[in-house]
Amino acid sequence: VITVAPIQSSLMVAREIRDLILKTQKEGINCVLGLATGSTPVAVYKELIRMHKEEGLSFKNVITFNLDEYYPIHKEHNQSYNYFMRDRLFNHIDIPAENINIPDGTIPKESVLKFCEDYEAKIDSVGGIDFQLLGIGRTGHIGFNEPGSSLLSKTRIINLDKKTRMDAASDFMGLQHVPKYAITMGVSSVMKAKKIAIMGFSETKAPIIASTIEGPVTSECPATFLQTHPNCTFYMDLAAAEKL
């Protein structure tokens, strides 16, 4: 657990990602990143863009897998995670388009299962995720693994929790516009990452952060599974650490 101001945390995480990219470039191999959406990682992405523009950091060998996407949702919807990632990161760096993987919120229902199996297989086929970035939702979800998600869960379609949909209501201009489902990487897909950084800031996250770090490991709070990961760092500010 590291307790510092949000901007410091974001710089630390961005530097860790940069070091990993540079190391893999030296070795001539790919760097596989698991990426998250939400307000929390935005400053990390800003810093990575700065590193690209000012320090010439290249993302040509980077392959990314995003955690989740609303379902159904159009890629051009301004609340889709596809739009978010292009807007906040991908449009500003030199990552090859074919290296970007985001769950597809537009596929027909009957193809979702196959899509999820392929997504999981694709992660394995590039050697697994080297570095996974995570935020945390008020329900204890990582990605969109809502309470009830098991340690063995894989990439799949999931019903969003009421609390999660309420948290997204203002962004969607009303609860009735928030999709009821999402496609998310599973808990097991996340746990397979070689290294994980999870970030949570402000007092609104304090109760769920306390349960995540000090509570019993349970699918009622899927983030608690991270307690059993061998290489996971939790970054938070003092307000978020208040209930520890």
User: Which sequence positions are flagged as catalytic?
Assistant: 146
Nearest distance, CB of residue 176 and ligand GLP, angstroms: 18
Which one of 35-43, 72-80, 150-158, 217-225 is the stretch in contact with ligand GLP (CB under 6 A)? 35-43
Tokens read off for 102? 């985001």
Tokens read off for 33? 């990143």
Q: Which CB sits closer to ligand GLP, 38 or 128?
A: 38
Q: Which CB sits closer to ligand GLP, 10 or 57?
A: 10
DSSP lists the bridge partners of residue 199 as 235
In angstroms and rounded to an integer, the radius of gyration of the C-alpha atoms of the chain is 17
Nearest distance, CB of residue 142 and ligand GLP, angstroms: 7
Residue 40 is a binding residue for ligand GLP (CB under 6 A): yes
Q: Answer yes or no: are the C-beta atoms of 200 and 1 closer than 8 Å.
A: no
| Bond before 72 cis per omega within 30 degrees | yes
Residue 131 is a binding residue for ligand GLP (CB under 6 A): no
* Cα distances (angstroms) measured from residue 137 to each of 23, 111, 126, 143, 193: 32, 28, 28, 8, 20
**Amino acid residing at 126:** V
Residue 186 is a binding residue for ligand GLP (CB under 6 A): no
Q: Which CB sits closer to ligand GLP, 120 or 140?
A: 140
Q: Answer yes or no: are the C-beta atoms of 183 and 116 closer than 8 Å.
A: yes
Residue 136 is a binding residue for ligand GLP (CB under 6 A): yes
Q: Of 7, 22, 27, 39, which one interacts with ligand GLP (CB under 6 A)?
A: 39
Instruction: Say how far apart CA 82 and CA 198 lie, in whole Å.
Output: 21
Query: Given the DSSP bridges, would you call strands 181-184 and 68-71 parallel, antiparallel or unpaired?
Result: antiparallel
Q: Which CB sits closer to ligand GLP, 72 or 143?
A: 143
Q: Of 9, 17, 33, 37, which one interacts with ligand GLP (CB under 6 A)?
A: 37
Which one of 101-109, 137-145, 173-181, 224-232 is the stretch in contact with ligand GLP (CB under 6 A)? 137-145
Residue 38 is a binding residue for ligand GLP (CB under 6 A): yes
Instruction: Give alpha helix (H) positions in 126-192.
Output: 162-168, 187-191
Residues of this chain, 43-72, that bind ligand GLP according to CB under 6 A: 67-68
Nearest distance, CB of residue 121 and ligand GLP, angstroms: 22
Strand, helix or coil for residue 237: coil
Query: Given the DSSP bridges, would you call strands 232-236 and 2-3 parallel, antiparallel or unpaired?
Result: parallel
List residues binding ligand GLP (CB under 6 A): 36-40, 67-68, 135-137, 143-144, 164
